[in-house]
Amino acid sequence: MSVLLFPGQGSQSIGMGLEFYKNFNSVKQIFAEADEKLKYSISKIILEGPENELQSTKNTQPAILTVSYSIFKILSEEFGLNLKSYKYFAGHSLGEYSALVCSDSLNFNDAVYLLHERGKAMQEAVPIGKGSMIAILGLKTDEIQNLINSRKNKKGICQIANDNADGQVIVSGDKDNVKDFQIQLKEKNIKTIPLKVSAPFHCLLMRPAAEKMKEKINKTNFKSPKINIINNVTAGPENDAEKIKKLLIDQIYSTVRWRESILNMHKEGVKNFVEIGPGKVLTGMTKRTIKGANCFSINSIADIKNLNDKF
């Protein structure tokens, strides 16, 4: 039993998807659709940069969707991907939009627009320099949560933003509060890494962004997905279109429960985890979570052929 995984922010790189763009007219069409919808050339930013433009959240989010969806379409149309062998689709943060598009729950054009607006709203929710995010290495998620809970007298927000894997957890919040927590962890010889991000994502500071996106998401047409979608907020399957809308709004300021999502799919008998899109971030997280999991990352035509051989 298999699942398709779709990456989120952090997987982007200039030139991602270039091989598919050069070789398939259908991919050129997808890129052109994204350009037309956004009214500027996201294609040029994806394929040529510059780096600072691609790293801008309002561009990163629709860019990753565009590349992920392009690879999915080639898998389906050119290489005969048999969706009947896939039990779930799951996406990390913005990757959930990719999963919804590929499961025919959400129109690609609508998703490109929503992610562009989502990126702007998340960037504008907190003034630059007022928030921060750190990666905490080597601790289990519940251990980190217990340490956060023990700091209730501290002012401001400090919460788990991404529960990626045991030993790889991201904390987000007010800059001073997160910095104080980082010092506390250092005193316990716990390693942390500050993340180069433009805003403190997936924490309560993102509530203004969620409010901005609420009307836009609710006005968009969603259908029940053809493949079960694993939701970031609940870490379980969700197929009701109206609930999906609400959870996409909540997701903006809620913890991405990725580790639990992978574990829950594994408990349901999933053996093969196939990551579609730029990078191999989710493949690494899955290997940390499920020892001995069969993981495949699709970044090239050769990767697709290798996947078909292994399956």
What's the predicted TM-score (pTM) here?
0.96
**Same structural domain, 19 and 110:** yes
306 pLDDT higher than 90: no
Q: What is the mean pLDDT of residues 154-175?
A: 94
Within this chain, do residues 115 and 52 fall inside the same structural domain, yes or no? Answer: yes
User: How far does the chain reach from its first CA to its final CA, in angstroms?
Assistant: 11
Specify whether 73 is located in the same domain as 160: no
CATH of the domain at 10: 3.40.366.10
* Contact by Cβ (8 Å): 263, 289: yes
**Mean pLDDT on 120-148:** 94
Is residue 215 domain-shared with residue 299, that is, in the same domain?
A: yes
What is the arithmetic mean of pLDDT over 127-136?
Answer: 93
Is 98 contained in some domain?
yes
**What is the structure's pLDDT at 311?**
64
Please indicate, yes or no, whether residues 215 and 293 belong to a single structural domain of this protein: yes
172 plus 295 within the same structural domain: no
pLDDT tens, residue by residue, 20-52: 999 999 999 999 999 999 999 999 999 999 999
**Average pLDDT across the chain, whole number:** 95
Q: 15 to each of 22, 42, 44, 229, 272, how far by Cα in Å?
A: 11, 12, 9, 29, 28
Residue 152 has pLDDT above 80, yes or no: no
pLDDT in tens, 273-283: 999 999 999 99
Query: Which residues have a catalytic role annotated?
Result: 93, 202
Whether 199 is covered by a domain: the verdict is no
Q: List the CATH number of the domain containing 135.
A: 3.30.70.250
Tell which wins on pLDDT, 186 or 311. 186
Task: Collect all residues with Cβ–Cβ distance below 8 Å to 166 and sequence separation of at least 6.
Answer: 140, 141, 259, 288, 289
Residues 175 and 255 placed together within one structural domain of the fold: no
The verdict on 36 and 156 lying in the same domain is: no
Q: How many domains does the chain have?
A: 2
Domain that holds residue 168: 131-194
Q: What is the pLDDT of residues 106-129, one digit of tens each?
A: 999 999 999 999 999 999 999 988
Rounded CA separation 77/182 (Å): 48
Say whether both 109 and 240 belong to one domain.
yes
pLDDT in tens, 91-100: 999 999 999 9
* CA–CA distance, 274 with 198 (Å, rounded to integer): 29
43 within a domain of the structure (yes/no): yes
pLDDT of residue 279: 92
The answer as to whether 298 is a domain residue is: yes
98 plus 246 within the same structural domain: yes
Domain-terminating residue out of 143, 168, 194: 194
Same domain, 151 and 214: no
Identify whether residues 120 and 83 lie together within a single domain: yes
Alpha helix ranges (H) inside 24-137 = 25-38, 42-48, 51-55, 57-77, 95-102, 108-125
